[in-house]
């Protein structure tokens, strides 16, 4: 899970790991920030991050679904690399 401040600090090319979407071998999918992070001056609790995975899969994360992704250097990276399908937090 990333925080709102971490999401606002993301830049194009940064890598995120999706906790629910898995690769065939059970590891977390890698999503790359594909553009500029959109923030609002009048609503500082809002954020919109454009993402890309692979060649044809695009999407966005916003303030409501920040819990689905985490940074690669987060402590959960071990969880992703083990290929466990159970959340052992």
Segment 56-88, tens digit of pLDDT: 999 999 999 999 998 887 655 556 665 554 554
pLDDT, position 7: 94
d(CA 45, CA 40): 8
Among the four given CATH numbers 2.30.30, 1.25.40, 2.40.160, 3.30.460, the one describing domain 4-82: 2.30.30
Q: Look at residue 88 in the predicted model and tell me its pLDDT.
A: 46
When the pLDDT of each residue in the chain is averaged and rounded to a whole number, the result is 85
**Radius of gyration of the chain from Cα atoms?**
13
H-assigned helices in 1-89: 4-8, 77-82
What are the Cα distances from residue 4, in Å, to 12, 78, 87? 17, 23, 22
Which pTM was predicted? 0.78
Query: What value does the mean pLDDT take over residues 23-52?
Result: 93
């Amino acid at each position: 899970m990333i925080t709102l401040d971490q999401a606002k600090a993301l830049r194009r090319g940064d890598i995120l790991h999706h906790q629910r979407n898995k690769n065939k071998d059970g590891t977390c999918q890698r999503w790359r920030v594909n553009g500029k992070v959109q923030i609002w001056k009048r609503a500082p609790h809002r954020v919109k991050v454009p993402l890309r995975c692979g060649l044809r899969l695009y999407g966005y994360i916003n303030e409501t679904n920040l819990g689905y992704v985490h940074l690669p250097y987060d402590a959960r990276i071990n969880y992703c690399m083990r290929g466990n399908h159970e959340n052992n937090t």
